Structure 1
Amino acid sequence: MKPLLLIRVLLCSTLLLPLAAAVQAQEPQQPQAASLDELLQLVKEARVAESREQAAREAEFKRDKAQRAKLLQQAQAIRAAAEQRSEQLEKAFADNERQIAALQEQLQNRLGSLKEMFGHLTAAAGDARTTLNHSLVSAQYPGRTAFLDELIERMSGNTRLPSLSEIERLWYEIEREMIEGGRVASFPATVVKADGEQARQQVVRVGVFNLLSDGAYLSYRPESGTLAELARQPGGAVTRAAGQLQASSEGFTRTAIDPTGPSGGALLAALVDSPSWLERWHQGGSIGYLITAVGLAALLLALWRLLVLAGVSRRVNTQLASDSPSGDNPLGRVLKIGQDNRAMDAESLELKLHEQVLKERPAIEAGLNLLKIIAMVAPLMGLLGTVTGMIVTFQSITLFGTGDPKTMAGGISAALVTTVLGLCVAIPVVLLHTFVNSRAQRVLHILEEQTAGIVAEQAEAR
């Protein structure tokens, strides 16, 4: 029996050694067995400890199960109470629905034929509120729509019918709006100046079209009920007419109004926002300034040549009336050549006189070629500015896209300003060149005519 027992012990030790090694790896603080008896003792103690832990886990599981059963019972009780409450609410809801239906039927019976009238009254009150909120008459009579808000709210909620006094007041406000739309009234109000300051001053209301004060047009802001001067005013004649209207007390006064809207008018806003001639000129940029400088130079040159030719023509006309040649005018110098060379034959005298006319021609035609060049170059400069501006515009479109057509149209408009400037310079310069050239050709024609006459007299005398 002892060998058999020894074999069993060895087998047990062989099986338990890996388990002991694993336990030792996880819990290095446990003691190691020095002999088989100690190993058996350690295994026995481990079994006892595991049995104790298993019992503790089972007790904990039982406690958790009891707790969950208790929570389940509580949840079932809450669910039952909620279902009972739901049934009570559904019953109350059904009762309320029946009561509401009965009350609505009673309301419809009481309204009778007035139901359609009250519907039209609600629509009329809504339209009147929208009109009065944006009307310029509200600047003179603020707070007109407060009762309309309450009236519409009550009629929309079907809680109360409008009274006769409320209906009459709605009628009164609609009729007052119609009457005030045809009046020119003056009233004191607080006006926000263009610089941001506020001032109390007299305001003139021209129907439902425009508001004027101290010769300036005002804008009305319905959301805040404030009056403000337009940042930019129309032309001088329009603002002067506005000042005359405010200063007048009776009779008829001509003034400009904007008939496009009751809130100040879109036409006036577009007119104010449009750039002036000076601003358009600045849009031409450096090329526009250069075209303007060239045009001014051409104008000064043309005026100077006209003055010079006027003096020459006057002296030539004086020479025509005189018998003795004078050296202060081209005709006198030509006649003096003919007088000094009477002994020559007609052909030589003609050459002498023609030579003198050729000497006089540059002084008479001075500046004409320059005027012609300016008339030709000015449109080309305008075209150059337009092409440059279009390049900049298309670069902006490439960067920012075409989401805002106004920006693209503004860039193209600014690019075309140089073309307009070029044409505005070229057309007057062409006319001035023609006029100056005609004056110069008139003087040259007189010189050639007198030269031909002298040659003819010389030939006849011989």
Structure 2
Amino acid sequence: MKTLNKFFTSIALCSFVLTANAQQATNLDDLLKQLEKGQIAQTQQNIEREAEFMAKKSQQDQLLKQAITSREQAVAKSTELENTYQVNEVDIANKTDALNKRMGELKELFGVLQQVAGDTRSKFQTSTISAQIPGRGKFLDEFAQSMGSSSKLASIEEIERLWFELQREMTESGKVHKFSAQVVAANGEKVQSDVIRVGGFNLVSNGKYLEYIDETGSIAELIRQPSNRYLESAAELTQANTGAVPFALDPTGGSILGLLVQAPDTQERIEQGGPVGNVIIALGVIGLLIALERFISLFFIGNKVNRQLKTSVASDDNPLGRVMLVKDNNLDADTETLELKLSERILKEVPVLTSRLTLIKIVSVVAPLIGLLGTVTGMINTFQAITLFGTGDPKLMAGGISQALVTTVLGLVVAIPMVFISTLLNTRSRGIINVLQQQSAGIIAERAEMAEPAEKGA
């Protein structure tokens, strides 16, 4: 029963498909005719496809035969080339062996030529002669590459050219030559200027040192110049026309000059001291100002005292005059009373003469102590850098060590002059005080001599 149901269902589906693709049949005979026509059309289409396939089948057979023939030809050609390669390889080995035997020491010579060409090219990269004679390195590059990348032998012309470049380098190294070139200033501006080349060592223009940059083929002014004593010699060389001129020559071709310009100047060294260094400098300035004021004050006081020593008329504009006025104002006083009054006057004059000298002495003592404080602080920073980064890079420790050393130097630089200044001022003030004490003792002795006859007469 189930089989019959499936059969009728299939017939119904086929009828539905045929009905969707064909005109609507009015009865079963029309449906049968349409079905028959469809079978005939489908059969005709299949016949055409089979014919087309058969026609292409012969074509495909022909293409296959052609491919097989091409493959066989390629295999034969490959076998022939492989045999030729093996024969050539043996032939090349034999000829190479024969060439090496015939070359003998020439092979070593060409190796030396290649090495010399490479070394000379490296020399030309840093030579200042290349600034005047550009393009010398191109031949050496081509020569070294041709000698190293292939078995090409150097020709006589190439060997002579290498010899010529070496000889020209040696010859020009002993000359001082002036030429015009475009110079890149420190601010980046390009100017045409006269450049003086000193052998193969230095370039100078307008009293400043220059450097040659091989990568760009340009001449540039050093951003940082060496100290004034080197610049003075460069200026003398720039202004000189004939004769011998002293000049600071760098025989390394720029290495020593590069280290000189990297060395910090006085201001940069002071800045390395940090806040502690600034405090020491401030103390030194204060001490110098106080010392200057004391020098001027004691100088005028000393001159007035010296003038007072030359006259018996007392004046109140100097310490000695004020001491002498005590005698004039106490003519009737006895010797002991006059002595006490003179001592009192001298004691009043001493603070004026020794004023602020203690501050100078304090500065001379405190400055090295502050420098020691900076030393300890700098070493603490150094050890912290070692703890964090190790000892692989010395530059990480340079800051702390610089602060430690600079503060110590600043403290000593301030303290040592302050000690001498303090001693000199104390000596100066003590000399004036001694004059006052001597004159006071003389006044007392004079009064005692005057009083002694009166006592005898009584």
User: Over aligned residues, Cα RMSD in angstroms?
Assistant: 3.1
Q: What pairs up with 1:159-308 in 2 under 5 angstroms?
A: 159-259=151-251, 261-262=252-253, 265-308=254-297
On the 8 A contact 2:273/2:402 being kept in 1, the answer is no
Q: Which of the numbers 340, 343, 356 marks the counterpart of 1:367?
A: 356
Q: Which of the numbers 114, 124, 127 marks the counterpart of 2:119?
A: 127
Where 2:215 maps in the other structure, the secondary structure is coil
The one-letter code matched in structure 2 to 1:163 is S
Where 2:314 maps in the other structure, the secondary structure is coil
Aligned to 1:155: 147
Aligned to 1:380: 369
TM-superposition CA deviations, 1:292-336 (whole Å, max 9, x none): 222112111111111111111111111111122222211122122
Greater mean deviation of Cα atoms: 110-119 or 241-250:
110-119
Distance 1:438 1:84, change over 3 A: farther
How many residues get paired? 391
TM-superposition CA deviations, 1:360-415 (whole Å, max 9, x none): 11111111111111111122222233333444444444444444212311332034
Greater mean deviation of Cα atoms: 307-316 or 106-115:
106-115
Q: How many Å apart are 1:131 and its aligned residue?
A: 1.9
Aligned to 2:302: 313
Aligned to 2:133: 141
Please give the alpha-carbon distance, in whole angstroms, between the structure 1 residues aligned to 2:146 and 2:348. Answer: 102
Where 2:136 maps in the other structure, the secondary structure is coil
On the 8 A contact 2:274/2:403 being kept in 1, the answer is no
Please give the alpha-carbon distance, in whole angstroms, between the structure 1 residues aligned to 2:92 and 2:287. Answer: 91
TM-superposition CA deviations, 1:204-233 (whole Å, max 9, x none): 111111111222211222233222111111
- Tell me, yes or no, if structure 1 residue 451 matches structure 2 residue 434: no
Residue identity over aligned pairs, in percent, reads: 49
Where 1:145 maps in the other structure, the secondary structure is helix
Q: Which runs of 5+ in 2 are unaligned?
A: 3-71, 453-458
The one-letter code matched in structure 2 to 1:431 is F
Greater mean deviation of Cα atoms: 440-449 or 141-150:
141-150
Q: How many Å apart are 1:189 and its aligned residue?
A: 2.1
Please give the alpha-carbon distance, in whole angstroms, between the structure 2 residues aligned to 1:157 and 1:109. Answer: 21
Distance 1:274 1:87, change over 3 A: same
Aligned to 2:398: 409
Q: What pairs up with 1:418-437 in 2 under 5 angstroms?
A: 418-437=407-426
TM (normalized to structure 1)? 0.76
Please give the alpha-carbon distance, in whole angstroms, between the structure 1 residues aligned to 2:448 and 2:121. Answer: 103
Please give the alpha-carbon distance, in whole angstroms, between the structure 2 residues aligned to 1:122 and 1:285. Answer: 54
Please give the alpha-carbon distance, in whole angstroms, between the structure 2 residues aligned to 1:221 and 1:425. Answer: 45
Please give the alpha-carbon distance, in whole angstroms, between the structure 2 residues aligned to 1:270 and 1:125. Answer: 29
Aligned to 1:8: none
Q: How many Å apart are 1:111 and its aligned residue?
A: 2.6
The one-letter code matched in structure 2 to 1:205 is R
